[in-house]
Structure 1
Amino acid sequence: MKKIVIKLLMIIIATGYTTQVNAISVDTTKRNKDDYFNVHFEGDIVVSEDDKNIISISNYGFIEIKQSSFGVERRLVIKSDNNGGLIKQFFIKNEKQNFVPKGKKWLSKVLPKIIKTTFLGGKSRVDRSFKKGGVNAVLKTIEDLSYDFVKSKYIDFLLKKRLSVNELNTILKNLNGLIKQQLYIFEVLEKNQNSFLKDSRVSATFIKTISQYESDFYKFSLLQNAIKTSNELTEMPSSQDIMAISKSITSENYITKLCYSLIEIQGANKSLDQILTLFNQINSEEFYSNNVIRKILTQSLDISALRKLLIAIQTSPQKESNAITFYEYVFSHNTYTESEILEILNTILKNTVKPISLYKSMMGVSKTISKSTENVKEQYRKIAMRLKPNYEFYYDKVLNAIEK
């Protein structure tokens, strides 16, 4: 419900009309205080081909139009009789009038304006245009609409049809030209992204469209949703294209959250290549890169996956901080053979330059080493010798840690 309220406020500010879940209200008072109209409608409403009449309304649906012009108020109510017919009532200054001819003539004047500023009759107009000239004819119809919100609704109607690869690409390529506000483009892409991601020939255009956004939030939301809605993302033909969205995301917070989504939904082993691609984009905040490493190491990883992670750490701008985190958590959720533990131990010197980093890394693995074989402990002691003679305090702490 919060999302709907936010949208309402934005539409009021931008266009002067408001929407609700099942009805719409339009108010043009901001344009002309002496000549305004207000409309409420509900249900599926079909308008005539010339956009000047209403020819059908679904059961229990209705439309009410009010207009005040130079002190004279007109009101028209049309509702379904629930048997395929329409009940029409027309009022001037609250006095009932015959619909024909006054009400019909008045409706023919105000309805085209209402159609341009709302999605009233939108589905039937999309159907009619599509039947006549396909996607291009619908896009031409959308061009004549007044507001981005209304245009986005028409595109939603269009995307519910069974469309070819070329037709989907045509829609994507025209979105930025049709709709100015990125919020509404984002909503179209978000609602319909499964249609755009099914075929790599369409997903490439989808990625290009998203990459034009200035907002990291929009790009992050679309990619995160793609991860959440498809547990088989890495098997989809467009998976590499989908991950390409991340290259234009500058927020390391969002990059970290995308890593979390991949780990939680697909698992670190399955999606490690994608996770490390994202990890390599974290260049300034060691807080985020360390958290990604911790999250990865909460899952069961084989030794080949650890090797990949260590390579990513070695090329990271936060190498030593990341290395400390790695050695602190590497054994927290995983059990390895003696040879694998030795392999992990022997990487410590490659990944630490500062004595304090070496000390913290060795303390991180000490609990596991203390329970390992004498062969493993001896290798641990050899590595500790690097702390002598200048850092005897660290050296003693490291040795004592495996004797407990």
Structure 2
Amino acid sequence: MKKLFLGLITIALIGKSAYCQEASASIGKTIVVNEKNGVQRWKTSTPTSDFNIELRGKIELTDDDKDIKSISDDGYLEINKTVFGSKRTVIIESQGGGKVKKEYYEGRTKMGWENGKAWLGEILPELVRSSTIGAEDRVNRFYIKGGTTAVLEEIERLEGDYIKAHYGKLLLDKNLPATEIPNVISTLSNEINSDYYLSALLKDNIKKLLVTPEAANAFYKATEDISSDYYKSMVLKDALKSSTASLPQIKTILRSASTINSDYYLSVVLTSLLESKTLDNETLNEVIVTSKNISSDYYRTQVLEKALKNGSISNTSTKVVIDALSDVGSDYYKTSVFNSLAEKTQLDPSLQIDIANVLRNSVSSDYYASITITKILQNQKLNNESLQQLLQAAGSLNSSTYASNVFEEFAKKDLSSAQLIQILKATETIDSDHYLSSVLQRLAPQVKTADASVKDAYRHAAKSIDSETYYGRALKAIE
């Protein structure tokens, strides 16, 4: 006999208590409306036949799934099938007190129940595996006979993700031994192809499914089977809020998250991970590196700023953050993170050099680059090498205005003779006589008290000034 309900795939969710399910199969299109006013309906149509089921209440089946043993009070089941205009109908109604009334019709003619029983016995075993008819009773029956393994084996025989998820929920409603949870998760994630149903099953049972490290491992591994960015990120986010992930589990989460294409949803997962108290520097670095999969400048910098707020972030991790910022396209977002770093953290000179290199090589805006150089000068202690790199960054500015602003900021620092010479050489890149003269005059007080080599460097820089007026002002400043 052809399968009656094959490969059910969710296409819509209607309200809180009713949803519509539709699938194409060799027999036609199937639509299921579940729990509308307490009634479940299935309808299958093909060019030559119609198959309809309507159910209210709970049903208990015989052990062979070929007949109805009982139905809850006020419950009923109606099954009818029309083929080439010929219609068969079974109606089973509760009479209360455990009594059941069963009727069978061919067309409008009521026939003997023996004929109806034979027809029901033919179609019911397939129906119960293609719908939720008698699902609770069947799960209880299999569980009593063979425990979790027997229920999972039956789930593997069911048709459709909705049906499998429903059985999975009924199984998880039981007080299962913690040792059995990992296998339950793995089996359900392998069997349920629908992102919606698998994610709902995982989300709705988070506390049960994260009960042990082994179960949590299986849970996070199961998220790899969710292809939808939205559903995957929501499951991971809720799980991370519910339980602290171990370092190995975070690696699994990162592997799962790395397949998320949406910048927003990937940032949601990474931000949630960064709130974990178990992060070590190695794993933090992996989170930061994964952020490079985010093409959006905004969302990537949001994640990186969150990483920098980790109280125990190491120089190595900070270096990874700077590297992750280097290919951010927006100068604004890139330098905003650098500015925050410069203002709030005393950076190792090697990190100052890294930032200077990024400013010189990948920040095209003179305005944003000059602001960051200024922030570093105002808030950081520099050694000769980091000062030299910042000078090179300042010297690469095309705008004389912004370059002069930066050099004047250099002049505010207490500089050694070697540093003064470095700055004076760098000022020669300023094209404007006005701005070059202004910078030299700002440096003049320190030059006047320095040795002859510094004064020589000053005079050499002044020779770049074409205007006699500005040249005279520069030289007069050191006399």
Give the TM interval when normalised to the shorter protein. 0.7 to 0.9
In the TM superposition, what is the alpha-carbon distance from 1:187 to its structure 2 partner? 5.1
CA shift digits 1:194-215 (9 cap, x unpaired)? 433332212333444443x4x6
Alignment of 1:310 with 2:318, yes or no, is: yes
- Rate the CA distance shift 1:77–1:304 in 2: closer, same or farther, 3 A: same
1:276-355 maps to which residues of 2 (within 5 A)? Answer: 277-283=286-292, 287-288=295-296, 291-294=299-302, 297=305, 301=309, 304-305=312-313, 307=315, 310-316=318-324, 318-319=326-327, 325-329=333-337, 336=344, 348-349=355-356, 351-354=358-361
In the TM superposition, what is the alpha-carbon distance from 1:128 to its structure 2 partner? 0.4
Alignment of 1:13 with 2:24, yes or no, is: yes
Alignment of 1:43 with 2:57, yes or no, is: yes
Name which of 385, 389, 392 aligns with 1:386: 392
Name which of 11, 33, 41 aligns with 1:25: 41
CA shift digits 1:216-249 (9 cap, x unpaired)? 426x63353232354254x344x64254233255
Identity of aligned residues (%): 19
Q: Tell me, in whole angstroms, the C-alpha distance in 1 between the residues paired with 2:344 and 2:374.
A: 14
In the TM superposition, what is the alpha-carbon distance from 1:171 to its structure 2 partner? 2.9
CA shift digits 1:113-138 (9 cap, x unpaired)? 32132120011111101111112222
Q: Tell me, in whole angstroms, the C-alpha distance in 1 between the residues paired with 2:310 and 2:147.
A: 53
The structure having more radius of gyration, on CA atoms, is 2
Name which of 244, 247, 255 aligns with 2:252: 244
Task: Answer with 346-355 or 3-12: which moved more.
Answer: 3-12
* 2:195–2:227 Cα contact (<8 Å) kept: no
1:235-274 maps to which residues of 2 (within 5 A)? Answer: 235-237=244-246, 240-250=248-258, 253-254=261-262, 257-261=265-269, 263=271, 267=275
Q: Tell me, in whole angstroms, the C-alpha distance in 2 between the residues paired with 1:143 and 1:194.
A: 24
In the TM superposition, what is the alpha-carbon distance from 1:186 to its structure 2 partner? 5.1
Map of 1:127 onto structure 2: 140
Map of 2:435 onto structure 1: none
Q: Tell me, in whole angstroms, the C-alpha distance in 2 between the residues paired with 1:128 and 1:283.
A: 51
CA shift digits 1:22-73 (9 cap, x unpaired)? 144344543x826x53211133221111212222223443211112355442
Q: Tell me, in whole angstroms, the C-alpha distance in 1 between the residues paired with 2:285 and 2:240.
A: 19
Amino acid at match of 2:176: L
In the TM superposition, what is the alpha-carbon distance from 1:153 to its structure 2 partner? 2.2
* 1:263–1:295 Cα contact (<8 Å) kept: yes
* 1:227–1:262 Cα contact (<8 Å) kept: no
Q: Tell me, in whole angstroms, the C-alpha distance in 2 between the residues paired with 1:303 and 1:169.
A: 34
- Rate the CA distance shift 1:75–1:336 in 2: closer, same or farther, 3 A: same
Gaps of 5+ in 1: none
* 2:60–2:134 Cα contact (<8 Å) kept: yes
* 1:52–1:112 Cα contact (<8 Å) kept: yes
Name which of 82, 105, 112 aligns with 1:68: 82
SS at 1:142 equivalent = helix
Name which of 148, 151, 165 aligns with 1:138: 151
* 2:21–2:33 Cα contact (<8 Å) kept: no
Task: Answer with 194-203 or 325-334: which moved more.
Answer: 325-334
* 2:250–2:273 Cα contact (<8 Å) kept: no
Q: TM-score, normalised by structure 1?
A: 0.73
SS at 1:76 equivalent = strand
- Rate the CA distance shift 1:74–1:153 in 2: closer, same or farther, 3 A: same
- Rate the CA distance shift 1:388–1:55 in 2: closer, same or farther, 3 A: closer
- Rate the CA distance shift 1:365–1:3 in 2: closer, same or farther, 3 A: farther
- Rate the CA distance shift 1:42–1:243 in 2: closer, same or farther, 3 A: farther
1:205-216 maps to which residues of 2 (within 5 A)? Answer: 205-211=218-224, 213=225, 216=227
* 1:262–1:268 Cα contact (<8 Å) kept: no
Alignment of 1:198 with 2:206, yes or no, is: no
Amino acid at match of 2:336: E
* 2:339–2:375 Cα contact (<8 Å) kept: yes
CA shift digits 1:257-306 (9 cap, x unpaired)? 33335547975998796665333124466x43553324554799377548
* 1:216–1:249 Cα contact (<8 Å) kept: no
Q: Tell me, in whole angstroms, the C-alpha distance in 2 between the residues paired with 1:373 and 1:146.
A: 66
Q: Tell me, in whole angstroms, the C-alpha distance in 2 between the residues paired with 1:162 and 1:151.
A: 19
Q: TM-score, normalised by structure 2?
A: 0.63
In the TM superposition, what is the alpha-carbon distance from 1:308 to its structure 2 partner? 6.2
* 1:352–1:358 Cα contact (<8 Å) kept: no
Alignment of 1:221 with 2:221, yes or no, is: no
* 2:67–2:121 Cα contact (<8 Å) kept: yes
Amino acid at match of 2:31: T
Map of 1:398 onto structure 2: 406
Alignment of 1:57 with 2:71, yes or no, is: yes
* 1:76–1:91 Cα contact (<8 Å) kept: yes
CA shift digits 1:358-387 (9 cap, x unpaired)? 9455434478679x68999xx999875335
SS at 1:13 equivalent = strand
CA shift digits 1:72-114 (9 cap, x unpaired)? 423233233455443444444334556x444444433332232
